[in-house]
């Protein structure tokens, strides 16, 4: 993820990661969430529906809360339902999305208006530029076949080596 200067003092385009959680997808409010983010002027760059999510991916995503008592329950919840993974771009998008997400008890925020369960909170948004980059890399690995599979190719023993093995 690169930041792009818009030529104005303090104006920098950023990218952030947004995960629309299973409770929002199942209730049919994912479109409302995407609209609220877009209405604020943030640009939807990429959106993928994941009918299910591998629990290992969820554990990697939430590794920063692995010692919390709700970690396993949260991973189970995310991996047992459909989610939308998205990349949004905009000026100060990381903090802007976090402000729009808000807290469940704050009316006017996404969570305040759309959460209807004490535990589940409809949306995740990156909390820093650094975490946005790592979350984007985790959920949207490169589309380049070579870089996507390089780690795997190095990790397994090639039983029928090609003449190009030294390039791996």
Per-residue model confidence (pLDDT) at position 158: 42
Residues in the chain: 168
Distance CA 34, CA 18 (A): 10
pTM, 2 dp: 0.78
**Interior angle at CA 126, CA 120 and CA 130, nearest 5:** 150
Dihedral Cα 134, 32, 35, 132, nearest 10 deg: -10
Based on C-alpha coordinates, what's the Rg of the chain?
18
**Interior angle at CA 62, CA 32 and CA 27, nearest 5:** 25
Residues annotated as catalytic are 124
Over residues 50-102, the pLDDT tens digits come to 999 999 999 999 999 999 999 999 999 999 899 999 999 999 999 999 999 99
Per-residue model confidence (pLDDT) at position 11: 63
């Amino acid at each position: 993820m690169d930041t792009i200067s818009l030529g104005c003092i303090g104006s920098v385009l950023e990218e952030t990661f947004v995960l629309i959680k299973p409770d929002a997808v199942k209730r049919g409010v994912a479109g409302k969430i995407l609209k609220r983010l877009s209405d604020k002027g943030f640009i939807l760059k990429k959106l993928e529906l994941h009918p299910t999510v591998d629990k290992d991916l969820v554990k990697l995503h939430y590794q920063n809360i692995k010692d919390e008592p709700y970690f396993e329950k949260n991973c189970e919840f995310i991996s047992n339902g459909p989610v939308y993974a998205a990349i949004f771009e905009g000026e100060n998008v990381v903090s802007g999305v976090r402000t729009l997400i808000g807290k469940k008890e704050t009316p006017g925020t996404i969570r305040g208006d759309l959460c209807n369960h004490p535990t589940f909170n409809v949306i995740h948004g990156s909390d820093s530029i650094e975490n946005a980059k790592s979350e984007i890399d985790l959920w949207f690995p490169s589309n380049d076949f070579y870089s996507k599979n390089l780690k795997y190719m190095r990790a397994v023993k090639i039983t029928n080596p090609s003449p190009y093995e030294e390039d791996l």
